[in-house]
Amino acid sequence: MFLEQMKTMDFDPKKKYIVVVPMGTTEQHGPFLPLGTDSYIQNAIIEQTESLVSEVIFLPTLRITCSKEHSGFPGSVYIEKETMEKILHDICVSLQPYVKSIAFISWHGGNISMLNRFVEANRNSFQGIHLEHLQCGSEEILKKTAELLGGPVDEHAGNSEISMVFSLEPSLVIVPPKEYPKQKIENAWDSERLIDVSKDGIVDNHPAWVVDKKMGELFIQMEVQELK
C-alpha cells in the first residue's frame, strides 16, 4: 500500500501497521545521470516490492537527504545529518498512533551512518514501536553484480547505476562513450567533498564502461527480492 494513495477511512483503528520510510537524494551523479538518480532507483525498488507485500504501507520517498559530500557540484541539495535525524523523529512521532514497526531504507549510501545512529538511539523512544534500518546492497548482491559487470562494482554514478536508470528512465541517461576516461579512486569517501578527488563526480574503478538496460533491470530485481 502506498500512503499517498490511501484514504483515512482505509485505516482500521484496531490495527497497528508496518511502515517503510524510503529515502533517495537530489545530488550530482556525474555527466551521464540525473540529479534524482537515487530517488528513481529507490522508487523502482519500492514500487516493485509493494505488489509483493500488500500488508506494508510505503511512505513517499524523501528526495532531499544527507548529501553534503556532494557539495560543490551544482544541483546537489542536502540536509545536515542532525537536521535529518530531527525530521525522522517527527515522522516517527506522527506515525506512532497507528504503527507497530517502522523500517527505513535508503539507496543513497550517504544516509547509512545517520540511519544506523538514529535507529540505535531511538529503539525505545516511541512506545514500543520497532525501528529497523534495511540496508540495500548486501554482500551477496554485490558479489553477483561484480560477476555480471566482470569487474568492480561502482560506488557512485558508474556502470550499475547508469544501467539501472537506463532501464527506468532512458531519456534521462547519456550512455558513456567508450573512450570517456575513467579515474581510479581509492577511499573516495574519506574526503568531506567528493569534488576534491573526483572532478566529474564519478566513483567507478571498473576499467571499462559496461552499461546495459537488461542488466539494470536485473540489478533492481535483486534489490526487490532482498527487500521483500
| pLDDT value, residue 54 | 85
| pLDDT value, residue 9 | 94
Domain match, 155 and 125 both? no
Work out the percent of the chain whose per-residue pLDDT is above 90: 95
Average pLDDT of the chain is 95
Domain match, 82 and 156 both? no
| pLDDT value, residue 40 | 97
Per the listing, cell 536485473 goes with 218
Whether residue 39 contacts residue 63, with contact meaning beta carbons closer than 8 Å, is answered with: yes
Average pLDDT over residues 120-145: 93
Domain match, 128 and 22 both? yes
Residue type, 78: Y
Rounded to whole angstroms, how far apart are CA atoms 74 and 59?
28
pLDDT tens digit sequence for 55-106: 899 999 999 999 999 999 999 999 999 999 999 999 999 999 999 999 999 9
Domain boundary among 85, 118, 133: 133
Domain match, 125 and 144 both? no
Domain boundary among 133, 166, 201: 133
Per-residue pLDDT band at 191 (split at 50, 70, 90) = confident
pLDDT tens digit sequence for 11-67: 999 999 999 999 999 999 999 999 999 999 999 999 999 999 988 999 999 999 999
| pLDDT value, residue 196 | 96
Nearest 10 degrees: CA dihedral of 182, 185, 190, 195?
A: -30
Which among 206, 17, 227, 217 has a CA at the least distance from the CA of 130?
17
**Cα dist from 157 to 16, 116, 119, 130, 153, whole Å:** 39, 24, 28, 33, 11
Domain match, 203 and 94 both? no
Average pLDDT over residues 168-176: 97
Domain match, 18 and 119 both? yes
Domain match, 148 and 128 both? no
Whether residue 61 contacts residue 55, with contact meaning beta carbons closer than 8 Å, is answered with: no
Work out the percent of the chain whose per-residue pLDDT is above 70: 100
Greatest extent of the chain over all pairs of C-alpha atoms, in Å? 61
Domain match, 158 and 72 both? no
Domain match, 53 and 144 both? no
> What is the number of domains present in the chain?
2
Average pLDDT over residues 168-185: 96
Rounded to whole angstroms, how far apart are CA atoms 81 and 117?
10
pLDDT above 90 for 128:
no
Whether residue 41 contacts residue 165, with contact meaning beta carbons closer than 8 Å, is answered with: yes
Confidence (pTM)? 0.94
Average pLDDT over residues 199-222: 97
Which of 12-16, 70-74, 169-173, 198-202 comes out lowest in average pLDDT?
12-16
97 lies in which domain range? 3-133
pLDDT above 90 for 127:
no
Rounded to whole angstroms, how far apart are CA atoms 193 and 116?
22
Residue 23: CB atoms within 10 A of its CB come to 25
Domain boundary among 117, 133, 149: 133
Domain match, 171 and 95 both? no
Domain match, 21 and 120 both? yes
Domain match, 75 and 28 both? yes
